[in-house]
Amino acid sequence: MTNLPFFSPYRHGFVRVATAVPKVKLVDPAANAASVLDLVRDADAAGVAVLVFPELGLTGYSIDDLLQQDALLDAVEAAIATLAKASEKLAPLFVVGAPLRVDGRLYNTAVAIQGGKVRGVVPKSFLPNYREFYERRWFTPGAGVVGKTVTLAGESAPFGTDILLRASGATPFTVGVEICEDVWTPTPPSTAQAMAGAEILLNLSASNITIGKSETRRLLCASQSSRAIAAYVYSAAGAGESSTDVAWDGHADIHEMGHLLAETPRFSTTAVMAMADVDVDRIRQERMRVVSFGDAATLTPSAFRIAPFDFTPPNGELALARKVERFPFTPSDPARLRENCYEAYNIQVQGLARRVEASGLKKLVIGISGGLDSTHALIVAAKAMDQLSLPRTNILAYTLPGFATSDRTKSNAWKLMKAMGVSADEIDIRPAAEVMLKDLDHPYSRGEPVYDVTFENIQAGLRTDYLFRLANHNHGMVVGTGDLSELALGWCTYGVGDQMSHYNPNSGVAKTLIQHLIRFVAASGDVDAATADLLEDILSTEISPELVPGEQVQATESFVGPYALQDFNLYYLTRYGMSPSKIAFLAWTAWHDASVGGWPVGTPDAARKAYDLPEIRRWLELFLRRFFANQFKRSAMPNGPKISSGGALSPRGDWRMPSDAAADIWLAELQANTPG
């Protein structure tokens, strides 16, 4: 394990990258080199490992026939020598664009510099020569140029399209480089670079701006980062370029696996830079998981030379330079949250409707507690019946009060059933429970206030027994209510309604998402104002199984931890296979300061809490213990649709593990590598 501090992104597999757009001074390599150095020094101070600049940035892209002037080309080589010498005491690898003469030809190149040396030079493979572009007038294409060297700054450096730059040290990573038009082609060089191991792909660009072009560039960068399972760091020419016939917006952004991490303001008249921490470990994990990526690499063999360099991360603590959603199942962006809720809700409805259609049954049986999960399951069931043109009265809904059912939840259950227009009834399970307790000679049957797991599960089991027998009696099917978070934590009784049913539309929905789905329905116009108010009241009710009588509410989160944190842990453990210490670091980044924005719309003030690292570690340890100990419940779970790219826990779908696996090495990793 590295000796870097816990609060350093580099310790957890992140690499800080940056994209910069200086204000260029046309045909003045010395001045442009000075501008580059100013930004490299800023990046070095910020802990950046990799920094990319625009295409032909040492001269300016828009200088046309001046590109072939010997005086200018000599000045370019001198500027590169200056940059190499100045980089001796600077940590970042930085890549600048320059026209270079090699073997009697002129190439449009990317020059990679670090630690006092030119580490490699990559020529542009594909030269645009259409509309406003005339690059073949000046340059030789780099496609097919491999195995060569070039002398710069007094030393020989590898030259060709067959170069990858690989950092050794505490945080190793590999960089691939392409130039502008290369990514606009059907076979970008960065595709082969990624398949050969490059996790960070750089693009030096001089793409001019026209209406709508910036969105096309974003799509290209995002799609290439997604398809190549990589980070894609893009920098395009901006201020200072000639506006004789075209204009420039200085577009620079950073994508990781399809997601935008950072971008600069466009049309700036001064130098700009954006930086972000890319998750190299996550990229490697995803490439390992997506076996078709490796298959493609095997079918497309390519020989790359490795240009090595040593990168030493800063020793001190660094704040993580990327946004970490507190609720990975419910994004903070209101538009995305609305779209996610729309899709999740309709996936559930479609899944249940299809199961009803396929079964040939016309009736659904469901237990309604007045809590979150059964509320949402009933809403989904009602919508499914609407979709099938079946009457909602074919939904047989029951509230089944027990020893600790509160007046509030029972009242809300009745109000909800009536509001949904379903067939509603009540079965008091207490008499049957008392008979069973007496048959078991349980202390409660002798008047002793013993509320153990037997006492609790008799109630849960009876509710399920009634529902299944009611389904038999009415030729219907039982709709499950248990959610993804409960299944992950094992907070469900084996063989009862929150674990067992004929079909469970909630099984792929995290608790934090269910809350927003109910808000989505309340605001959708599908329900009247009174029902919307009822749903808000259900949302504000303490989450509780209501199995133990007494004045104190049996608060679920006091046993299994805050669902906000446990959903976070679930997402990063199962979706990305992250080590527990890294999950703790990300959770601390997201949760240690409640005053920072980023809360999903509708998050109540009471839920806007902060968590320190010891508390995060404590609940994560509990999550790991419960997650491993309760796999046997997930191995026997009924069908239900996968909802989120964050994953599901069906043994037939996203998640497979033996029921007798132990959490020991995960707990040991957390304890050894997480303070507190």
Pair 400, 463: CB distance under 8 Å? yes
Q: Which residues contact 182 (CB under 8 A, 6 or more apart)?
A: 124, 125, 126, 188, 189, 190, 203
Q: Is there a domain that residue 611 lies in? A: yes
Mean pLDDT of 37-58: 98
Q: What is the pLDDT of residue 607?
A: 78
**Mean pLDDT over all residues of the chain?**
95
Top-ranked range on mean pLDDT: pick from 28-37, 494-503, 549-558: 28-37
Q: What is the pLDDT of residue 123?
A: 98
Q: What is the pLDDT of residue 524?
A: 87
pLDDT at 606 over 80: no
Which of 310, 345, 380 marks a domain boundary?
310
Residues 347 and 263 placed together within one structural domain of the fold: no
pLDDT digits (tens, 9 = 90+) for 215-261: 999 999 999 999 999 999 999 999 999 999 999 999 999 999 999 99
Q: In what order do the strands lie in the sheet with 163-168?
A: 259-263, 252-256, 231-236, 200-205, 173-179, 163-168, 305-310
Residues 604 and 484 placed together within one structural domain of the fold: yes
Q: Which residues pair with 273 in a beta bridge?
A: 20
Q: Is there a domain that residue 325 lies in? A: no
Choosing from 77, 117, 135, 180, which is the catalytic residue?
180
Domain coverage including residue 625: 334-673
How far is residue 341's CA from residue 601's CA, in Å, rounded to a whole number? Answer: 12
Q: Is there a domain that residue 1 lies in? A: no
Pair 322, 277: CB distance under 8 Å? yes
**How sure is the predictor about 598, in pLDDT bands with cuts at 50, 70 and 90?**
confident
H/E stretch holding 539: helix 529-539
Quote the tokens at residue 523: 């605001």
Q: Is there a domain that residue 66 lies in? A: yes
Residues 484 and 526 placed together within one structural domain of the fold: yes
How far is residue 590's CA from residue 588's CA, in Å, rounded to a whole number? Answer: 5
Half-sphere exposure of 160 (CA within 13 A, CB side): 16
Which of 275, 310, 345 marks a domain boundary?
310
Tokens 């917006």 identify what position?
Answer: 249
Tokens 């950046």 identify what position?
Answer: 48
Q: Which residues contact 232 (CB under 8 A, 6 or more apart)?
A: 190, 201, 203, 221, 222, 224, 225, 254, 255, 256
How far is residue 199 from each of residues 149, 177, 280, 395, measured CA to CA in Å? 24, 11, 6, 52
Which of 276, 310, 344 marks a domain boundary?
310
Q: What is the pLDDT of residue 145?
A: 96
Q: What is the pLDDT of residue 367?
A: 97
Burial class of residue 356, CB neighbours in 10 A (0-12, 13-18, 19+): buried
* Helix 334-359, helix 511-522: angle, nearest 10: 90
Q: Is there a domain that residue 317 lies in? A: no
Q: What is the pLDDT of residue 196?
A: 96
Mean pLDDT of 494-502: 91
Pair 397, 423: CB distance under 8 Å? yes
Residues 159 and 256 placed together within one structural domain of the fold: yes
* CATH, residue 306: 3.60.110.10
Beta strand extents in 57-199 (DSSP E only):
93-102, 105-114, 117-123, 148-152, 155-159, 163-168, 173-179
pLDDT digits (tens, 9 = 90+) for 305-358: 999 999 999 999 999 999 999 999 999 999 999 999 999 999 999 999 999 999
Residues 354 and 302 placed together within one structural domain of the fold: no
Q: Is there a domain that residue 2 lies in? A: no
Burial class of residue 635, CB neighbours in 10 A (0-12, 13-18, 19+): middle
* CATH, residue 507: 3.40.50.620
Q: Is there a domain that residue 6 lies in? A: no
**How sure is the predictor about 596, in pLDDT bands with cuts at 50, 70 and 90?**
confident
Q: What is the residue type of 376?
A: H
Q: Is there a domain that residue 323 lies in? A: no
Residues 71 and 110 placed together within one structural domain of the fold: yes
Q: What is the pLDDT of residue 317?
A: 95
Tokens 């609305």 identify what position?
Answer: 338
Q: What is the pLDDT of residue 233?
A: 98
This prediction's pTM:
0.94
Q: What is the pLDDT of residue 81?
A: 98
Choosing from 117, 124, 383, 410, which is the catalytic residue?
124
Q: What is the pLDDT of residue 605?
A: 79
Q: Which of 158-172, 384-398, 541-555 has the lowest mean pLDDT?
A: 541-555
pLDDT at 1 over 60: no
Residues 529 and 603 placed together within one structural domain of the fold: yes
**How sure is the predictor about 270, in pLDDT bands with cuts at 50, 70 and 90?**
very high
Handedness of CA 606, 610, 614, 617 (dihedral sign): positive
Residues 106 and 19 placed together within one structural domain of the fold: yes
Quote the tokens at residue 629: 């100990």
pLDDT at 299 over 90: no
pLDDT digits (tens, 9 = 90+) for 56-68: 999 999 999 999 9
Residues 219 and 132 placed together within one structural domain of the fold: yes
Residues 398 and 273 placed together within one structural domain of the fold: no
Query: For this structure, is 124 an active site residue?
Result: yes
Mean pLDDT of 398-407: 95
Task: Give the total number of structural domains in the chain.
Answer: 2
Residues 454 and 363 placed together within one structural domain of the fold: yes
**How sure is the predictor about 599, in pLDDT bands with cuts at 50, 70 and 90?**
confident
Burial class of residue 490, CB neighbours in 10 A (0-12, 13-18, 19+): buried
Tokens 């757009």 identify what position?
Answer: 21
**Buried (b) or exposed (e) across 154-184, using 16+ Cβ within 10 A?**
eeebbbbbbbbbbbeebbebbbbbbbbbbbe
pLDDT at 552 over 80: no
**How sure is the predictor about 170, in pLDDT bands with cuts at 50, 70 and 90?**
confident
Q: What is the pLDDT of residue 603?
A: 83
Residues 400 and 473 placed together within one structural domain of the fold: yes
